[in-house]
A and B are shown apart, each in its own frame.
Chain A
């Protein structure tokens, strides 16, 4: 009996947890069936998902890819899946996807919008991601001119002459700043640039073009269409409305009375008017005011209106960010002896913009989707083109397939924007919460 012990000397082997707590079953119990109410919700959700998929998937999959008309689609589907089956007619996408993407752009020149799009990714990279070399920003600055030249074609000297305007302004600024002070130099630089553009840029470009003819086949705005048009309008509007919106927001906070009332007036006017009204002004009213024969490009007009519209909204979003900053930040900037622009650039705006990121990005997403409104003024964006395609006798009556394809294209872009904004917020998170 002496070696009988009532105290354990060695540890028991740890038992594996019961199967109901670990692995797949444990996870399911934990997350899906952790109580009677959650179990009901789970079962109901599964049923809804099943019901949606069961009604959509057969339509998506029992489809025709090869037909040349809606009736042929129906025949093919009836033959393949039995009489009375309704299936998608993806053949219309197969036949027309190039049109939905490029519009009437000449097919032998598709490489130009493609190249412009790839270059756009390179131009955006240094703006979006901080670990890309800063020197790339030069390329981002030049990109609008390169893209414009690639898309519209024509002589290379026109964009070069426009870029030269900036060089003229900068040159004037450098020469005059020592002699007359910064204000006079800025005014002279702006005047010089505008005068160059108005008076000299055209003739200089024409002379150079006749002397050294380098250029691409010109493509008219009328031939632009499809998703390419949405991207052009959307990206230009997004790119131009952010700086303009920041300036307007600062103007609205300014102590200078005229500047302030101008900003407030502009913002409130634009926000009080629907975008579609501005588009009608761009497409019809301006036409009547301008002398006939003046060819003020319709896409340019639309881009200007869309930019103005978005900038008013951006201005209010940024103003929200400015208002959210504690007063102490402004005072601290003043106490450091920074002037207005330095304090804005180094202290106020970085914080204000960080706060406004979700608002800014959702304005951009909204702007990008609003580009489909141009179909109402006769521009053939994807929605406009879907109507035009439906007007062909072969494809009349087709609805969901075209909209599904367009929705997919838009989803890809908007989802990317939204994901980027979330990653940006995480990156800039400095733990103020």
Chain B
């Protein structure tokens, strides 16, 4: 009896979940703000500043979506999530979207029932070694001690890579990035391995960054992107096309500085469609005509966000690399806006 009541309650809860998630865009509009899951802190991607304002590359995506819906990049509330709580927070409806440097994988997409709405950063696992070791390639790392974060995909990638190249290594398990820095600087390990963006950010904080090199090999694919729940395609489309709009804006030269000028109308029909002077694309998406203008004004186009938070002029100093536009030899290739 008790069990059936419990199962019944679960079913009702499940049905209610289905009903609620069927119209996330309406829910978001009704409550007046977007609820966005971010990390509890990752350099360049999301961190609170001294005034408690969140900023970073992932945060920029959240703000752009909020601006597209409400015309106000501050109409967003951030929920810090850890690697362990992020997926339940999204599945349970606590947050509307997750922008938390999450790798797009088969199981997360299919088995956990999420919908990745694009890729905002192409990352990959790399190695950092002290320059004095004289190592120039990861293939020379046979027998090295490696600092590695436990319980992550990087651990598995590392094992795969060394086995595939018939090399041996001695792992030094560590929990957090800051612990890794300490261990690495204390020479507890020869090599530190994690995502290349993380390596660059870590190296930037060393007293003598030039004494350490990041090896050229990238041993895994880590496409990071925002994600939403399965089953609400209208909401997924909003998040996907806000991200695409930022990428297209960079490709077409629309920046936060000139967007107001260009929104008055240009000779380029794709820009006109994007900025709402031709057609009614905002309406099709369930938003107003100036959605893309607002999203671009929030923090700039993709390139501006990149430069501001993780680009070469920041302490992290990442080159565009794979994250350049396809016209510049990168992988960013947004579908045409028509």
| Residues of A in contact with B (beta carbons under 8 Å apart) | 70-71, 74, 95-96, 99, 103-104, 220, 222, 280, 283-285, 287-293, 375-380, 384, 387-394, 396-397, 399
Contact = CB atoms under 8 A, between A and B. Distances in A.
Q: Is the interface of B mostly helix, strand, loop or mixed?
A: mixed
A388 B47 contact: yes
Contacts of B223: none
Contacts of A285: 88
B41 A390 contact: yes
A180 to B, nearest CB: 31
A397 B205 contact: yes
A278 to B, nearest CB: 14
B32 to A, nearest CB: 14
Nearest to A78: B207
Given A380-B40, A396-B204, 19 more contacts: A74-B207, A99-B50, A99-B52, A104-B52, A284-B88, A284-B92, A289-B9, A289-B10, A291-B13, A292-B16, A292-B17, A292-B21, A378-B40, A384-B80, A388-B47, A391-B40, A391-B41, A392-B43, A393-B204
Nearest to A400: B182
A397 B92 contact: no
Contacts of A99: 48, 50, 52
B200 to A, nearest CB: 11
B258 interface: no
B20 A292 contact: yes
B140 interface: no
Given A222-B77, A378-B85, A392-B49, A287 B94 contact: yes
A387 B205 contact: no
A223 to B, nearest CB: 8
Contact of A293 (B12, B88, B93): B93
Nearest to B181: A397
Nearest to A102: B52
24 contacts: A70-B205, A99-B50, A104-B48, A284-B84, A288-B91, A289-B10, A290-B13, A292-B20, A292-B21, A377-B82, A377-B85, A378-B85, A380-B40, A387-B41, A387-B176, A390-B41, A391-B39, A391-B43, A392-B43, A392-B48, A393-B314, A393-B316, A396-B201, A397-B178
Contacts of A384: 40, 80
A378 B16 contact: no
What size tier do the contact residues of chain B reach? 35 or more
Nearest to B205: A397
Nearest to B81: A378
A375 B41 CA distance: 12
Interface of B: 9-10, 12-13, 16-17, 20-21, 39-44, 46-50, 52, 77, 79-82, 84-85, 88-89, 91-94, 176, 178, 181-182, 201-202, 204-207, 314-316
Q: Is the interface of A mostly helix, strand, loop or mixed?
A: helix
Contacts of B182: 399
A293 to B, nearest CB: 6
A28 to B, nearest CB: 40
Contact of B82 (A74, A292, A378, A390): A378
Contacts of A376: 82, 84
A74 B209 CA distance: 13
B21 A392 contact: no
B21 A96 contact: no
Contacts of A104: 48, 52
A393 B80 contact: no
Given A393-B315, A399-B178, A96 B91 contact: no
B85 A393 contact: no
Nearest to A379: B80
A387 B207 CA distance: 20
Contacts of A389: 41, 47-48
A378 B21 CA distance: 23
A375 B80 CA distance: 10
A211 B13 CA distance: 35
Contact of B93 (A283, A292, A394, A397): A292
**Most chain A C-beta atoms within 10 Å of own C-beta, residue among B42, B48, B79:** B48
A103 B84 CA distance: 22
A285 B89 CA distance: 10
A390 B176 CA distance: 12
Nearest to B206: A397
Given A99-B52, A289-B13, A292-B20, A380 B80 contact: yes
A387 B48 CA distance: 10
Contacts of B89: 284, 287, 378
Contacts of A293: 16, 20, 93
Contacts of B91: 288
**Most chain A C-beta atoms within 10 Å of own C-beta, residue among B21, B39, B52, B88:** B52
A292 B12 CA distance: 11
Contact of B44 (A280, A287, A388, A393): A393
Contacts of B17: 291-292
Contacts of B13: 289-292
B80 A388 contact: yes
A116 B9 CA distance: 39
A133 to B, nearest CB: 41
